[in-house]
Structure 1
Amino acid sequence: MNLILEEIRKKNEKVFKTFFDKHYKDLVTYAYGYLYDKASSEDVVQDVFIYIWEHAESLKIETSLKGYLYSMVRNRCLNFLKSIKITDNYEFLEFNINLITEHVFDSNSEEEKKIVYHQILKIVDTLPEKMQQVVKLKFLHNYKYSEIASELDISINTVKTQLKRAKLKITEMVTGLLILLQINH
């Protein structure tokens, strides 16, 4: 791998292109696990490759170049998520911790909890409108079932059904994210 970096330092475009082609797709998939957005994932990975090309001379890589790539992509994904203002508190995230095995989540850092939280909010935004309203009233505003039913003019059973369906969808998607986070440790 150090030979590749040496060639990139010499501005060998052919070696760089081969290196790019070999790792680009896997890195975009890796970034997507954090961002859940294809375009943003592609942008992050392209930025990393541009950085490597432009700063090859000053790079000090202690591990492998591939490991360095993945670390850079991960860090840029985390920075991207930090740049998005998360306005809600963590109550909604705490609700979802109960949905997922606690021993898996306990080992995650605060930063990874923020990632999961951000992804949960994105998942909630993809739910059907009525389901979104029920979930947000329950877990962001701490409404009781009866208050939600009254507010939305639906039955308490409908509130419970909507919450069960939402939990299933959220759990399914968050579990995939947590598996990715565990793999990367």
Structure 2
Amino acid sequence: MPELIDWRKIKNGNKTEFDRMFDYYYHPLCSFAYTYLKNTQIVEDVVIELFSSIWETRGALNIKSSLKNYLLTLTKNHSIDLIRKNKIHHVGIEHATGLISEEEDVLFDDVDIVNKLHDLINKLPDQRRKILKLAVYEGKSYAQIAEELDISINTVKTQMSRAYKYLKEKLNVSENRLVVMLFLM
């Protein structure tokens, strides 16, 4: 884990420290919000708005828990508020809340691994990365991916297998842990 983020510096207007916090927590918070909202664009908007709000109100904020727990709670509340206001029906609130309570420790205990996972996914060959994202982020079946990309189902299976193998080896995690992390990305 990198040096701890110094909230006092942020509260006093240190933009460099705020940027460090943003860089460190942005992808994990997007992953967390995605479990509620299931829409990448909405998720990114929510997390960016959250950080913007934190910066604007930093002087008045009094964080009593750890910074990561504070950010996690804020993200969860913003996501649920958006679901309620806009009636986003991708995932039921009860289902998402139950899922997150079981897995949130996986995400935030391993923030470094989640950040590394994001970087590793971006280093995959283009077609492999596209196939992985269609399967994991969009929930498409191998048959749907094959049809969309005009390739065989066996090619999809092979590319998925290679992607999982590469990510497991680079992260040194079990396949189950990798699947949970990908789900939370």
Q: TM-score normalized by structure 2?
A: 0.48
Larger radius of gyration: 1
Q: TM-score with structure 1 length normalisation? A: 0.48
Q: Looking at both structures, which has the greater relative contact order when contacts are Cα pairs under 8 Å and sequence separation is at least 6?
A: 2
